[in-house]
Amino acid sequence: MFDVGFSELILLAIVALVVLGPEKLPHAARILGAWVGRIRRTVSTMQAEIEREVATQEIRSKLESEFSEIGGPDLVKELQEERRQLESDWQETRHALANDAAMTVQSAPTPDQSLLAQAAKPLEEVEVDGEKAYREWLEAQRQNRIAPPSSSASGDQSAP
- Per-residue pLDDT tens digits for 24-44: 888 988 998 999 999 999 999
The DSSP 8-state label assigned to residue 118 in this structure reads: H
The answer to whether 146 and 157 have CB atoms below 8 angstroms apart is no
Q: Which residue has the higher pLDDT, 31 or 131?
A: 31
pLDDT tens digits, one per residue of 93-125:
988 888 877 776 666 556 566 666 666 556 555
Confidence band of 128 (pLDDT split at 50, 70, 90)? low
Report the chain's C-alpha Rg in angstroms.
Answer: 49
**The model's pTM:** 0.38
Burial of 88 (0-12, 13-18, 19+ CB in 10 A): exposed
